Amino acid sequence: MTNAKILSLFELNILVKKNLKQCLPDTYWIQAELSDVRVNAPSSHCYVELVEKNKKNNSSVAKARGTVWENRKQPAPANRSSQPP
């Protein structure tokens, strides 16, 4: 890596966000299995781990972690179909 530009973590996050918005301008619904959910007692934030498994041998093919902030939580819909609203 010669002449590589050094970025701060903040700058990298901005760059990734900008490029994702350019490449993926639409809204997407992601289908995955919740493999872990943890709630922070004082803040009530939820920390989740999503996983996608190979249907043939049940091995993990993709994993992602996420945070649901307390002020962004919504109740589960009454109609629990697999279709996005």
- Does some domain include residue 49? yes
Residue-number span of the structural domain to which 56 is assigned: 31-73
Q: What are the DSSP calls for 64-76, one per residue?
A: EEEEE-GGG--PP
- Does some domain include residue 67? yes
- Does some domain include residue 3? no
- Does some domain include residue 60? yes
pLDDT at 15: 97
Residues near 31 by beta carbon (within 8 Å), at least 6 away in sequence = 82
| Mean per-residue pLDDT pooled into runs of 10, the chain (85 residues) | 87 96 89 92 91 94 93 74 62
- Does some domain include residue 21? no
pLDDT at 84: 65
- Does some domain include residue 81? no
- Does some domain include residue 62? yes
Helix (H, G, I), strand (E, B) or coil at 10: helix
Run of H or E residues at 46:
strand 46-53
How many folded domains does the chain comprise? Answer: 1
- Does some domain include residue 9? no
